[in-house]
């Protein structure tokens, strides 16, 4: 027993989160309804403790736990930090909001914490079985969260759709794991690369995994659930889904693809991701153009961001499949670091934007149609300014974090292309993807700035009584916009942390 406790110690961040989840659940059951305002603070405290525990293990190298089922390394810790930040922001933004929509219960806090714990575990999994289990802890919590606002019909619809399609895609993931086990007789992610298994079976398993993870991160054509679920779910939950689920999904995707299928294996998977990334960027950006609902527009924009991040994965694949080109290996860590930086910048701008949306326009609906945003600069100038910062950052305009993030990703692709050309390989896939990415991001400027235009150049509509937002919401909006500016002006420190995080995957 003592041995077990000692071994579990490095897992303390996750365990603290689960403990907090149970505590919130119990507190919710045994406390009176009037005292429910205290519940978010349980969540906030839990996250704070977990964060401290997590920082404790940063920079200590990798730790294997539970017979190799879990590996605590810089990558897992980096993603876990993003998840905890997202969770904290969601708690803060929910103060007041949850009550207004009638879900200020212990379950809400508890489910958010369970989901976060599952995601952290997912980011640390070194075994496909652990990975699948933690993915399910996350998914089931999120299905329930999406349907949190029971009185809203749209919310129920969203939860149900998300659940059915989620189950559908999880089947593919599980099938993929089964095929890989069949081919290699192992579920250890780090062992798969060394096994000379049945190649067709292994590659079919790879394809199934791509589908399963692609669903979670919202990559086309597996993105179909995203618009309906994002639009229907309560704004705070949508923000959490958009950021944390995506971060966790990318964590699993990157770990499995880069560690289980490294080097020349990449020749199989990078063309698939190339096509997926292209389709994702195009569909996300083009469909977003004519959305009248800002939440739905942000859903499509989230899909587009997935596409940009996938450019990094394609660059890594192209670089990995040409291991004999000198200097190519040195490019890989900055590219992966750029992807992780992108996730961080995306966290702040997306959560900030959804926090603004959760400011009520009407009694209990979100601030979500373009008309709701009319003249926001006159009604709430500071909030409008912050929203403009988030949107312009998403469009990739300096001096905000979104610009730097896009810059790192596009630069990675162009560096790889330059290295290929320098060694005489005349293939232009990396360059083409970067150029198409830039073109599609030009489309995005239109729909982001349209919201800004509504906020600043339209008169406010009369029938929009506003509710005073809570301090937590104000703090979130303020802190996120500051973070976006800091990431845009002083990116190098954050980028070096992200690169450290990426060292666990590619050196």
Residue numbers at the binding site for other proteins (CB under 8 A): 161, 164-165, 168-169, 172, 199-200, 203-204, 206-208, 210-211, 214-215, 220-222, 224-225, 227-228, 267-268, 271-272, 283, 286-291, 443, 446
Nearer to other proteins, 88 or 318 (CB): 318
206 vs 479, beta carbon nearer other proteins: 206
Give the span between the Cα atoms of 211 and 366, in whole angstroms. Answer: 32
SS3 127: strand
Can you name the residues that pair with 72 across neighbouring β-strands?
63
**217/283 with CB nearer other proteins:** 283
122 φ, ψ (degrees, to nearest 5): -60, -40
Tokens of 183: 């081919």
CB closer to other proteins, 121 vs 210: 210
* Pair 94, 236: CB distance under 8 Å: yes
- For the bound state, the minimum distance from the C-beta of residue 451 to other proteins, rounded and expressed in Å, comes to 16
- Least spacing, CB of residue 199 vs other proteins, in Å: 6
Considering beta carbons, is residue 103 or 162 the nearer one to other proteins?
162
CB of 103 to other proteins, least distance (A): 24
If 0-12 CB within 10 Å is exposed, 13-18 middle and 19+ buried, where does residue 151 land?
exposed
Distance CA 162, CA 201 (A): 30
SS3 content of the chain, % helix, strand, coil (to 5): 75, 0, 20
Within 8 A by CB and 6+ apart from 428, the residues are 417
Q: Minimum CB separation from other proteins for residue 168, in Å? A: 6
Our CB check for other proteins shows the closer of 203 and 431 to be 203
Residue 326, Cβ density class (10 Å: 0-12 exposed, 13-18 middle, ≥19 buried):
exposed
Residue 175 tokens, joined: 């099938």
Using the minimum distance from each CB to other proteins, give the nearer residue, 200 or 326: 200
State in angstroms the smallest separation of the CB of 387 from other proteins.
Answer: 23
- The CA dihedral of 330, 58, 62, 329, to the nearest 10 degrees, is 0
H helices of 95-185, in order, are 97-100, 106-124, 128-146, 153-184
Give min distance, CB of 159 to other proteins, in A: 12
Shorter beta-carbon distance to other proteins: residue 282 or 403: 282
Looking at the Cβ atoms of 283 and 433, the one nearer to other proteins is 283
- The CA-atom distances, in angstroms, between 20 and each of 104, 392, 461 are 16, 36, 43
* Least Å from the CB of residue 143 to other proteins: 14
Closest separation in Å from C-beta 175 to other proteins: 10
Could you tell me the smallest distance in angstroms from the CB atom of residue 265 to other proteins? 11
- C-alpha pair distances (Å), 448 with each of 346, 380, 381, 409: 15, 19, 18, 20
Nearest CA-CA partner of 304 in 387, 217, 407: 217
């Amino acid at each position: 027993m003592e041995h077990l406790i000692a071994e579990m110690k490095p897992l303390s961040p996750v365990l603290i989160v689960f403990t907090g989840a149970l505590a919130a659940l119990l507190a919710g059951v045994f406390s009176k309804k009037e005292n429910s305002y205290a519940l978010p603070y349980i969540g906030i405290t839990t996250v704070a403790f977990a964060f401290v525990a997590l920082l404790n293990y940063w920079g200590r190298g990798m730790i294997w736990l539970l017979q190799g089922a879990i590996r605590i390394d810089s990558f897992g810790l980096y993603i876990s930090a993003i998840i905890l930040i997202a969770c904290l922001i969601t708690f803060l933004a929910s103060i007041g909001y949850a009550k207004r929509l009638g879900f200020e219960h212990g379950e809400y806090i508890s489910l958010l914490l369970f989901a976060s714990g599952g995601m952290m575990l997912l980011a640390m999994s070194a075994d496909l079985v652990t990975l699948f289990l933690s993915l399910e802890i996350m998914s089931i919590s999120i299905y329930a969260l999406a349907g949190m606002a029971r009185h809203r019909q749209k919310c129920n619809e969203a939860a149900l759709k998300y659940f059915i399609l989620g189950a559908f895609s999880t089947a593919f993931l599980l099938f993929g794991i089964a095929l890989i086990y069949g081919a290699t007789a192992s579920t250890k992610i780090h062992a798969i690369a060394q096994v000379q298994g049945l190649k067709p079976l292994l590659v079919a398993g790879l394809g199934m995994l791509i589908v399963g993870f692609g669903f979670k991160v919202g990559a086309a054509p597996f993105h179909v659930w995203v618009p309906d679920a994002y639009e229907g779910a309560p704004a705070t939950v949508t923000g959490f889904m958009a950021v944390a689920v995506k971060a966790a999904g990318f964590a699993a995707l990157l770990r499995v693809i880069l560690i289980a299928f490294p080097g020349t294996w990449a020749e199989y998977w990078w063309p698939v991701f190339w096509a997926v990334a292209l389709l994702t960027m195009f569909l996300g950006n083009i469909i977003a153009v004519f959305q009248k609902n800002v939440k739905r527009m942000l859903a499509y924009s989230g899909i587009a961001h997935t596409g940009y991040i996938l450019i990094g994965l394609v660059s890594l694949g192209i670089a990995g499949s040409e291991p004999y080109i000198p200097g190519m290996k040195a490019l890989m860590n900055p590219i992966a670091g750029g992807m992780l930086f992108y996730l961080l910048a995306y966290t702040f701008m997306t959560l900030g934007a959804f926090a603004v949306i959760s400011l009520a326009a009407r009694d209990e609906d979100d601030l979500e149609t373009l008309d709701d945003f009319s003249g926001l600069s006159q009604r709430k100038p500071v909030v409008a300014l912050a929203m403009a910062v988030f949107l312009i950052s998403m469009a990739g305009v300096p001096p905000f974090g979104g610009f730097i993030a896009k810059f790192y990703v596009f630069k990675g692709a162009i560096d790889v292309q330059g290295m290929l050309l320098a060694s005489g390989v005349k293939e232009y896939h990396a360059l083409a993807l970067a150029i198409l990415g830039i073109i599609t991001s030009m489309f995005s400027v239109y729909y982001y700035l349209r919201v800004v235009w509504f906020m600043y150049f339209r008169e406010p509509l009369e029938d929009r009584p506003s509710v005073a937002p809570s301090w937590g919401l104000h703090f979130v909006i303020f802190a996120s916009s500051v973070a976006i500016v800091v990431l845009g002006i002083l990116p190098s420190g954050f980028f070096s942390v992200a690169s450290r995080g990426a060292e666990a995957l590619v050196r």
